[in-house]
Structure 1
Amino acid sequence: MFLAYKEIMHNKARYLLVVVTFVLISYLVLFLTGLATGLARNNRTAIDALPGNYVLMSKYANKNLLSSVITKDQYDKVSSSDTALLGQMTVVAENPQTDKKLNSNIFGIRLTGALKPPVTAGRMPTKNSEVLADDSVTYYGLHRGDRITLNGSSQKYRIVGYTRDHRFATVPVFYTTLSTFRQIRFGSAQVPNVSAVVSKKKLTDLPKNTQQLTKAGLIENIPGYTAQTSTFGLMIGAMIGITLLIIGIFMYILTIQKVAMYGVMRAQGIRTSAIVTALFWQILILALVGVGIGNGLMIATSFVLPKTMPFYGDPMMMLMITGALVVMSLVGGLFSLRRILHIDPLEAIGGE
């Protein structure tokens, strides 16, 4: 390590370019990872919060909650203390006083039942004319106490409280009663239909024209979710692979430039293993410094991004990406290994 550090300090300008490369690549990869994680969370947090692990939906909905309708006859056949009814509908929420509009979802639930979300501010609704909102609605100009309309209806609904991290299909969720959901979705609160039945246990003897999904299966079929996650995953994987190539090329060029020096070291009796060890210590030091600076820049950037941007810096994911970049950088150092192992001291220093 001492030899590697002394050489870096002796040739600061030469190694500065390698550090800058690490900084830029790590910053880009971490930023893309934050966006990918943020988008994935915004698609699914309301579903992740459901207490059960199974969801009963209509078969014709093609595993898409937005299209599912479960009738009373169907959910009565599976009703138990382990099940809960869920109504879902995509709506546009508007504050008529400010003309602020927001694409959102409503989740109709029994407000005292198992699907009740945790309240972070205010209180749970107690009437059909009240809703509990994901606190991200404040980013779009809707606040507790506002009276909003849903899908342009004449009925107004007061926001009486907030919950946190309850979004579905990238937009905030408003929790309300099943009666309110039915009034908006079917035009009458007397229509007993719902969108799905959430169950803690796997259901048997399913009603006709229904199918059962796990929460993971439901999330995978959210429109656009799989395409988004696979696209970002491919981009991040490609950037990590590019790191291997770039660092490998950099270190190979630097190795060629130092062949004469390595030849002198070999002629002095320094073992090849010591030279190889110094090479990988160099890569490790440069990678840790560059990736560390990249992490710092990414964290600083997260504080200035607009709240509406779907960015989430997951500490565990950041640690994994950082580790992957460092490991791939060390792997890139293998490109130089063969050159070092085959150095002839006499030839390297210009002998005949």
Structure 2
Amino acid sequence: MFLAIKEILHNKARYLLVVVTFVLIAYLVFFLTGLATGLARNNRTAIDALPGNYVLMSKYANKNLLSSSLTKQQVDKVANKHTAVLGQVSVVAENTSTDKKVNSNVFGINLTGKLKPTVTSGRMPRNNHEVLADDSVTNEGLHKGDRITLNGSDQKYRIVGFTHDRRFYTVPVFYTTLATFRQLKYGQANVANASIVISTRPFKTIPAKTQQINRATLINNIPGYTAETSTFALMIGSMIGIMLLIIGIFMYILTIQKISMYGVMRAQGIRTRSIIAALFWQILILAVVGVGIGAGLLGITQFILPKKMPFYANPTLFSSIAAALVVMSLVGGLFSLRRIIKVDPLAAIGGGE
């Protein structure tokens, strides 16, 4: 390590370029990861919060919650103490005072049952004309106490409280009664249909024209979710691969430039493994500094990003990405290994190979 640090300090300008490369790539990878995580969470946080892992839905819906509809008879056949009924309908919420419109989802639930969300501000709805909203609606101009209409209906609904991190299909969720959901989706509250049934245990009976899936399958079939996450994963993986190539090329060029110096070191009796260790210590130091600065810049960026931007910093995921960047940088150093091992002291000192 001592040899590596001395050489870095002796050639500051040369190694500064390598550090800048680390910073830029690390920052870009972290930023893309944050965006990918944020977009994925915005699709699924309301589903992640469901208390059961088993979902009964209509078979024709192709595992898509937005298309599923269960009849009262289908729901009654599986109803027990382990199940809960959920109704979903996509709506446009409009503030009747400001004409501000927000794309959103309504989740109809038993307000005192298993699907009851955690209230972070205000209270739970008490009747069909009240809703509990995801607190991200405040970024869209809706606030507690506001009266809204849903899908242009004449009926007004009052926001009586907020919950946190309850979004579905990238938009906020409003929680209300099953009767309100049925009125919005089917045009009348006395239609006892639902979208899905959630259960903490596998369903013993699967009614005709329905199917059982797990929560992960439900999430993966949110329209666009899998394509979106796969695209970002490919981009992030490509950036990490590019890091390997760039650092490998950088260190290979620097190795060629130092062949004469390595020849002198070998002639002085310094072992090849000591030279190789110095090379990888250099890469490790440069990678850790560069990735660290990149992470620091991302931390600053979070404070200036618009609240509407779907960005989420997952510490565990970011730590894994940082470790992957450092490891791939070390792998890139292998490109220079053969040149160092084959250094001929006499030829190197004379300027040859």
Q: State the alpha-carbon separation in 2 of the partners of residues 114 and 231 from structure 1.
A: 35
Q: Is 1:64 aligned to residue 64 of structure 2?
A: yes
Question: Match of 1:130?
Answer: 130
Question: Match of 1:147?
Answer: 147
SS at match of 1:77: helix
Q: Is 1:303 aligned to residue 319 of structure 2?
A: no
Q: Which amino acid is the alignment partner of residue 277 of structure 1?
A: A
SS at match of 1:94: strand
Q: State the alpha-carbon separation in 2 of the partners of residues 261 and 310 from structure 1.
A: 51
SS at match of 2:254: helix
**Residues 213 and 351 of structure 1, relative CA distance in 2, 3 Å threshold:** closer
Q: State the alpha-carbon separation in 1 of the partners of residues 210 and 204 from structure 2.
A: 12
Q: State the alpha-carbon separation in 1 of the partners of residues 180 and 155 from structure 2.
A: 10
SS at match of 2:323: helix
Question: Match of 1:170?
Answer: 170
SS at match of 1:175: strand
Question: Match of 1:21?
Answer: 21
Q: State the alpha-carbon separation in 1 of the partners of residues 301 and 99 from structure 2.
A: 31
Question: Match of 2:200?
Answer: 200
Deviation at 1:73?
A: 0.3
Alignment of 1:42-191 (within 5 A): 42-191=42-191
Q: State the alpha-carbon separation in 2 of the partners of residues 83 and 253 from structure 1.
A: 64
* Deviations, residues 175-202 of structure 1 (Å, cap 9, x unaligned): 0000000011111001100100001101
Q: State the alpha-carbon separation in 2 of the partners of residues 81 and 220 from structure 1.
A: 27
Q: State the alpha-carbon separation in 2 of the partners of residues 294 and 94 from structure 1.
A: 41
Q: State the alpha-carbon separation in 1 of the partners of residues 241 and 324 from structure 2.
A: 10
Q: What's the RMSD between the two structures over aligned residues?
A: 0.7
Tell me if structure 1 keeps the 8 A contact 2:104–2:172: yes
Q: Which amino acid is the alignment partner of residue 327 of structure 1?
A: V
Q: Which amino acid is the alignment partner of residue 294 of structure 1?
A: G
SS at match of 1:333: helix
SS at match of 2:182: helix
SS at match of 1:242: helix
Gaps of 5+ in 1: none
Q: Which amino acid is the alignment partner of residue 345 of structure 2?
A: P
Q: Which amino acid is the alignment partner of residue 129 of structure 2?
A: S
Q: State the alpha-carbon separation in 2 of the partners of residues 124 and 339 from structure 1.
A: 69
- Aligned residue pairs total 352
Q: State the alpha-carbon separation in 2 of the partners of residues 212 and 99 from structure 1.
A: 41
* Deviations, residues 276-319 of structure 1 (Å, cap 9, x unaligned): 00000000000000000000001110111001000000000110
Question: Match of 1:269?
Answer: 269
Q: State the alpha-carbon separation in 1 of the partners of residues 257 and 68 from structure 2.
A: 66
Alignment of 1:200-279 (within 5 A): 200-279=200-279
Gaps of 5+ in 2: none
SS at match of 1:251: helix
Question: Match of 2:292?
Answer: 292
Q: State the alpha-carbon separation in 2 of the partners of residues 92 and 205 from structure 1.
A: 36
Q: State the alpha-carbon separation in 2 of the partners of residues 23 and 345 from structure 1.
A: 36
Q: Kindly, what percent of the aligned residue pairs are identical?
A: 74
TM-score by length of 1: 0.99
* Deviations, residues 249-302 of structure 1 (Å, cap 9, x unaligned): 000000000000000000000000100000000000000000000000011101
SS at match of 1:154: coil
Question: Match of 2:9?
Answer: 9
Deviation at 1:205?
A: 2.2
Tell me if structure 1 keeps the 8 A contact 2:260–2:351: no
Q: State the alpha-carbon separation in 1 of the partners of residues 147 and 55 from structure 2.
A: 32
Deviation at 1:351?
A: 7.5
Q: Which amino acid is the alignment partner of residue 217 of structure 2?
A: G
SS at match of 1:104: strand
SS at match of 2:87: strand
SS at match of 2:103: strand
Deviation at 1:99?
A: 1.0
* Deviations, residues 203-243 of structure 1 (Å, cap 9, x unaligned): 12200000111000000000000000000000000000000
Q: State the alpha-carbon separation in 1 of the partners of residues 163 and 65 from structure 2.
A: 21
Deviation at 1:39?
A: 0.4
TM-score by length of 2: 0.99
* Deviations, residues 101-146 of structure 1 (Å, cap 9, x unaligned): 0000000000000000000000000011000000000000000000
SS at match of 2:343: coil
Deviation at 1:170?
A: 0.4
